[in-house]
Chains A and B, each alone.
Chain A
Amino acid sequence: MEYSQELLTEILKKALSRGGDYADIFIEETIKSGISYDSGKVKNITSGIVAGAGLRIITGTDFIYMYAADVDERKLRKLAEDISAAAAAGVTGVVKTLVPYEYKSILPISILPDTVDLPVKIGIVERANQAARHYSEKITEVMINYLDTDQKVVVATSDGRYSQDHRVRTRLVVRCIATDGDKRETGMSAPGRGMGFEMFETISPESIACEAARMACVLLEADYAPQGKFPVVIDNGFGGVIFHEACGHALEATSVGKNASVFSGKLNQQIASPIVTAIDDGTVPNAWGSANIDDEALPTQKNILVKDGILVSYMVDKLGSLRMDLPLTGSSRRESYKFAPTSRMTNTYIAEGDSRLDDMIASIEYGLYCRNMGGGSVNPPTTDFNFSVMEAYLVEKGKISKPIKGASLIGKGSEILMNIEMIGNTMEFGTGMCGSLSGSIPANVGQPAIKVSGLVIGGRA
């Protein structure tokens, strides 16, 4: 994608010619490819290109957004003309000289997906299928999705920011069904990285498949979870979804700036147990949620959100910064050019503490050890959250006793953060897709193991 500074400056000037304080343009070209596989064979192979541009004008704290697919110079000018007409009646906005931002990529790619032949990609999927089926005779179905995306973006803003990014991501999703007589259970494992095909050199398809198969088989032996309020140990990795839901979303300027978050106006106040430090870091090399620049052309950064229990920063995009008079944090993200950007999480995690997992479990008389979590959701104004447990074990008298299934954990984020009693010493990330106003975006959640009290466990009688 080649777009000259002159052209982008012209587009921004035209957009602001009839009014507006600020404008930005986001141009994208994303190559996607996917393989779906079930019943022991390839079901479908697809590929395509998502390409287009989105243009935004902000006036005060209001914005207008327009986008178009398959753009060229003529269509970009038309888009600028259309948006300036919609913004009409105001003082012409100023466009500063665009200053290119150059950097050393935190997302170096050694094998671009487009350079890998289809049979080689299918080979990865077949290896996963075989490994899952060899894991146990109880595995009766393996459903696999291989996905890769290669996104190139150009972003320019009227306050002079101008940069490009190249974001390549690869993910393998394996779901297994285990069957034993009338009993049937499912397991899933779905890691992704900000990498090309070399991802499979760091994490083998066999290990992904065996993890999904193992989980499905464990659940065949599981009873339904108990009901009530008990202490819970949530293991590292995708367990970080608890912070993501219970707190992270309510720290995005999207909700804070509209006074629609329980954490609005709480900067420098204690919102979590003093042992909690939480971070959103868009700069983790080759991580699933990383990028070199955010979608407003600002370099991504490591943002400490909570330090020793004190709220020290929100995640702030341009609109949020105007609404709240706070500095930008490199947190502006969107699914594609079809969405206006807003403040979002990248790779969000609770920092390591000093407890050992064994000691956490040993400290529980009766409770749960959650090894694998599913997704969840939250209401930022109240922080009422829920998330599902995929694989868990009952803890009795300080020891893991038996597997349990079918539980969700619910609570109020603002209370749960205060109830984190122990934090483990090994942080790990888990891969997720996060849905919000600016679409569905790749986001890592992470944490060391944590021990929490006061969660409602939604099991069965």
Chain B
Amino acid sequence: MIKEFLLKIIDKQLVPSELYYSRGKEIEISAFNGSINNFTSAETSGVGARVAVDGKIGSAFTESVTEQSVSAILRKAGENSKYSAFDEGNVLYSGKELPDSEEFMSKDIGSIPVDRKKEVALNLEQSAKEYDSRIINVPYAYYQEISSETGIVSTEKTAAFRRASLCGAMLYVMASDGKDTQVGSAVRLYQNFSGIDTALLVKEASDKAISMLGAGELSTGTYNIILDEQVASKLLGVFIAGGSSHFFGENIQKNRSRFKGEPGEKIGCELFTLKDNPLSGSLRSKTFDDEGVPTRSIVLAERGILKSVIHSVYSAARAGVDPTGHSQRGGFSGGVATGLHDAYITNGTDDQEALLQQLDSGILITEVEGLHAGLDPITGDFSLSAKGYRVSHGNQGDPVRNFTIAGNFFEFINRISEKADDRRTDRMSAFSSPSLLISDVSISG
């Protein structure tokens, strides 16, 4: 229905125009002190329009999905485009009609009664409180589900629609031993409601908080460290998958990337192999990007050598190459940017235990904070608050907190001395990594 509605409007346009439609349905349920303390439910939709005439582009959006409103934003986008500057990248994708994508729809979310969803939140809170007497408070225990429909149509023959849905659970606990208070959290996303494992979340969040109780401080110095899979994913992800990514064609073209972008350029060490696979079947999978370009698997770096960079339609047109299927939008109101789908550093062969053995003595970093501010995505420099554990003779020892790790992304990807086999695929982030062993890192305590 919506497809026909949008195509009907697009068919009337006399200049190159595109409509991006999205509809989202959300339920959020949280438990506190044994009752459902928040139930939020909503359905919203909107349309973003882009008009590209003679190398100039303009956009506009509306939350009112009526013929009148959508036609109005097409006019507004056309007006905006007149004041934009010429750029050979300002073109719309000449696509085709793609089959509707429904492979990432949950099988059961729609049919599960709300009461069972409430039970997830209640159960999370109660189980965490029962898990250990040192869990003194559970400020947040959430169940959440999102179903979405996205469509792109244009005068340039693109017509691509997908529907997807998933659910998730989140837990945030406080632990105290009477002297010290620590917090722990866990988040998991699932394609199907039947996959939710509350016990696992309770264990992960509670163990994190409890094991950090009585954490000591570190003396300032240079240490060999392991970034656990979560920390490695979060930290390196900012430089690899964030908006300033050094692998994005636009950033390379505008001289904002450290890389020249030529295949064969040495950028990292032997263990640095980076791929993006939008078709793996994970929660981040997509068969087409946000401009309707079909996606495909791509190798960005192999054993430290740059293989390819990624492109939106904009940067591809500037480079005179085909887009790689990496356009991304922040919903109907957001602009078009470049983005990775499900990028990752490939796994090593041994588990984290073996990595600890190889580290022998040093620090296992299990948490970093301040990622939105404590790093410069362009220069690669970072200095971040961290928590973790001492490691001696290959064994995980006492917890440590209130210290920072500082370094540089480009140095780090050249100094990975080993990696584990523990990369996880059940998060929504566009980048994941196994645990990494890195030597000679500055730590201040």
Residues of A within 8 A of B (CB): 32, 36, 38-39, 41-52, 60-70, 82, 86, 118-119, 122, 140-141, 177, 184-186, 224-225, 227-228, 255, 258-260, 262, 338, 340, 374-377, 379, 381-382, 384-388, 405-408, 410-412, 456-461
Residue numbers in B under 8 Å from A460 (CB-CB)? 383, 406-407, 442
Selected A-B contacts with CB under 8 Å, 24 pairs = A41-B85, A43-B84, A43-B85, A44-B335, A48-B333, A49-B63, A65-B40, A66-B41, A68-B43, A69-B63, A86-B39, A186-B378, A260-B137, A381-B139, A381-B174, A386-B373, A406-B382, A407-B383, A407-B406, A410-B385, A411-B402, A458-B403, A458-B444, A459-B442
Kindly identify which residue among A43, A63, A185, A408 contacts B87, using a CB–CB cutoff of 8 Å: A43
How far is A379 from B403 in the complex, measured between Cα atoms in Å?
Answer: 15
Contacts A406-B381, A406-B383, A461-B221: A44 and B57 contacting too (C-beta < 8 A)?
Answer: yes
Whether the Cβ atoms of B37 and A388 lie closer than 8 Å is: no
Q: Does B358 contact A (CB under 8 A)?
A: no
How far is A451 from B340 in the complex, measured between Cα atoms in Å?
Answer: 43
Residue numbers in A under 8 Å from B258 (CB-CB)? 184
Whether the Cβ atoms of A382 and B63 lie closer than 8 Å is: no
Residue numbers in B under 8 Å from A405 (CB-CB)? 381
Whether the Cβ atoms of B404 and A456 lie closer than 8 Å is: yes
- When each residue 26-38 of chain B gets 1 if its CB lies under 8 Å from chain A and 0 otherwise, what string results? 0000001001111
How far is A225 from B183 in the complex, measured between Cα atoms in Å?
Answer: 29
3 A-B pairs with the lowest CB-CB distances in the bound complex, closest first: A458-B404, A375-B373, A41-B85
Contacts A228-B444, A456-B445, A461-B442 supplied; 9 other A-B pairs, CB < 8 Å:
A41-B86, A44-B58, A46-B61, A50-B63, A63-B38, A70-B63, A186-B376, A385-B385, A458-B404
Q: Does B321 contact A (CB under 8 A)?
A: no
Report A430 CB to chain B, min CB distance, Å: 13
Whether the Cβ atoms of A458 and B42 lie closer than 8 Å is: no
Residue numbers in A under 8 Å from B182 (CB-CB)? 382
Residue numbers in A under 8 Å from B57 (CB-CB)? 44
Contacts A51-B64, A377-B373: A382 and B183 contacting too (C-beta < 8 A)?
Answer: yes
Q: Residue on A with the closest CB to B370?
A: A386
Whether the Cβ atoms of A62 and B64 lie closer than 8 Å is: no
Whether the Cβ atoms of A47 and B80 lie closer than 8 Å is: yes
Contacts A406-B383, A410-B385: A68 and B42 contacting too (C-beta < 8 A)?
Answer: yes
Contacts A39-B254, A140-B255, A410-B404: A48 and B378 contacting too (C-beta < 8 A)?
Answer: no
Kindly identify which residue among A36, A184, A411 contacts B379, using a CB–CB cutoff of 8 Å: A184
Residue numbers in A under 8 Å from B76 (CB-CB)? 47
How far is A376 from B383 in the complex, measured between Cα atoms in Å?
Answer: 12
Kindly identify which residue among B39, B385, B406 contacts A386, using a CB–CB cutoff of 8 Å: B385
How far is A163 from B44 in the complex, measured between Cα atoms in Å?
Answer: 25
Whether the Cβ atoms of A46 and B381 lie closer than 8 Å is: no
Report B44 CB to chain A, min CB distance, Å: 5
How far is A376 from B333 in the complex, measured between Cα atoms in Å?
Answer: 27
Kindly identify which residue among B35, B80, B181, B255 contacts A118, using a CB–CB cutoff of 8 Å: B80
Q: Which of B43, B87, B139, B407 has the most CB of A within 10 A?
A: B139
Whether the Cβ atoms of B374 and A46 lie closer than 8 Å is: no
Report B310 CB to chain A, min CB distance, Å: 19
Report B269 CB to chain A, min CB distance, Å: 20
- When each residue 386-427 of chain B gets 1 if its CB lies under 8 Å from chain A and 0 otherwise, what string results? 000000000000000111111100000000000000000000
How far is A374 from B383 in the complex, measured between Cα atoms in Å?
Answer: 12
Q: Does B237 contact A (CB under 8 A)?
A: no
Q: Residue on A with the closest CB to B81?
A: A45
Contact residues, B168-220 vs A (CB, 8 A):
174, 181-183, 220
Interface size on B, residues (CB 8 A): 73
Whether the Cβ atoms of B405 and A458 lie closer than 8 Å is: yes
Contacts A46-B80, A384-B385: A412 and B220 contacting too (C-beta < 8 A)?
Answer: no
Contact residues, B361-386 vs A (CB, 8 A):
369-370, 372-376, 378-379, 381-385
Whether the Cβ atoms of A44 and B379 lie closer than 8 Å is: no
How far is A185 from B378 in the complex, measured between Cα atoms in Å?
Answer: 8
Whether the Cβ atoms of B181 and A262 lie closer than 8 Å is: yes
Contact residues, B125-141 vs A (CB, 8 A):
137, 139
Whether the Cβ atoms of B38 and A340 lie closer than 8 Å is: yes
Residue numbers in A under 8 Å from B85 (CB-CB)? 41-43
Q: Does B46 contact A (CB under 8 A)?
A: yes
How far is A68 from B65 in the complex, measured between Cα atoms in Å?
Answer: 13
**What's the count of A-B pairs with C-beta under 8 Å?**
224
Whether the Cβ atoms of A64 and B40 lie closer than 8 Å is: yes
Whether the Cβ atoms of A386 and B32 lie closer than 8 Å is: no
Whether the Cβ atoms of B383 and A408 lie closer than 8 Å is: yes
Q: Residue on B with the closest CB to A32?
A: B333
Q: Does B45 contact A (CB under 8 A)?
A: yes
How far is A381 from B136 in the complex, measured between Cα atoms in Å?
Answer: 11
Q: Does B96 contact A (CB under 8 A)?
A: no
How far is A48 from B61 in the complex, measured between Cα atoms in Å?
Answer: 5
Residue numbers in B under 8 Å from A45 (CB-CB)? 58-59, 80-81, 83-84
Q: Does B62 contact A (CB under 8 A)?
A: yes
Residue numbers in B under 8 Å from A70 (CB-CB)? 63-65
Residue numbers in A under 8 Å from B38 (CB-CB)? 62-65, 340
Q: Residue on B with the closest CB to A49?
A: B62
Report B176 CB to chain A, min CB distance, Å: 9
Contacts A45-B84, A460-B407: A376 and B370 contacting too (C-beta < 8 A)?
Answer: yes
How far is A49 from B405 in the complex, measured between Cα atoms in Å?
Answer: 43
Whether the Cβ atoms of A184 and B42 lie closer than 8 Å is: no
Residue numbers in B under 8 Å from A140 (CB-CB)? 255
How far is A377 from B376 in the complex, measured between Cα atoms in Å?
Answer: 16
Kindly identify which residue among B45, B373, B444 contacts A69, using a CB–CB cutoff of 8 Å: B45
Whether the Cβ atoms of B39 and A259 lie closer than 8 Å is: no
Residue numbers in B under 8 Å from A41 (CB-CB)? 85-87
Residue numbers in B under 8 Å from A377 (CB-CB)? 369-370, 372-373
Whether the Cβ atoms of B41 and A86 lie closer than 8 Å is: yes
Whether the Cβ atoms of A62 and B36 lie closer than 8 Å is: yes
Whether the Cβ atoms of A52 and B63 lie closer than 8 Å is: yes
Kindly identify which residue among B45, B62, B384 contacts A48, using a CB–CB cutoff of 8 Å: B62
How far is A345 from B271 in the complex, measured between Cα atoms in Å?
Answer: 46
Residue numbers in B under 8 Å from A66 (CB-CB)? 40-42
Q: Does B163 contact A (CB under 8 A)?
A: no
Contact residues, B52-110 vs A (CB, 8 A):
57-65, 73, 76, 79-81, 83-87
Q: Residue on A with the closest CB to B332?
A: A48
Q: Residue on A with the closest CB to B47?
A: A48
Kindly identify which residue among A46, A260, A387, A410 contacts B335, using a CB–CB cutoff of 8 Å: A46
Contact residues, B144-187 vs A (CB, 8 A):
174, 181-183
Whether the Cβ atoms of A258 and B379 lie closer than 8 Å is: no
Report A223 CB to chain B, min CB distance, Å: 12
How far is A405 from B408 in the complex, measured between Cα atoms in Å?
Answer: 12
Q: Residue on A with the closest CB to B33?
A: A61
How far is A253 from B59 in the complex, measured between Cα atoms in Å?
Answer: 40
Whether the Cβ atoms of B372 and A46 lie closer than 8 Å is: no
Whether the Cβ atoms of A408 and B137 lie closer than 8 Å is: no
Q: Residue on B with the closest CB to A435?
A: B372
Q: Which of A41, A49, A66, A68 has the most CB of B within 10 A?
A: A49
Whether the Cβ atoms of B444 and A184 lie closer than 8 Å is: no
Residue numbers in B under 8 Å from A63 (CB-CB)? 37-39
Residue numbers in B under 8 Å from A258 (CB-CB)? 32, 137, 139
Whether the Cβ atoms of B64 and A69 lie closer than 8 Å is: yes
Whether the Cβ atoms of A406 and B406 lie closer than 8 Å is: yes
Q: Does B256 contact A (CB under 8 A)?
A: yes
How far is A420 from B29 in the complex, measured between Cα atoms in Å?
Answer: 41
How far is A382 from B38 in the complex, measured between Cα atoms in Å?
Answer: 24
Residue numbers in A under 8 Å from B79 (CB-CB)? 118
How far is A1 from B376 in the complex, measured between Cα atoms in Å?
Answer: 43
How far is A82 from B335 in the complex, measured between Cα atoms in Å?
Answer: 33
How far is A410 from B372 in the complex, measured between Cα atoms in Å?
Answer: 15
Q: Does B222 contact A (CB under 8 A)?
A: yes
Report A76 CB to chain B, min CB distance, Å: 14
Whether the Cβ atoms of A387 and B376 lie closer than 8 Å is: no
How far is A416 from B62 in the complex, measured between Cα atoms in Å?
Answer: 46
Report A456 CB to chain B, min CB distance, Å: 6
Report B243 CB to chain A, min CB distance, Å: 11
Q: Residue on B with the closest CB to A83?
A: B41
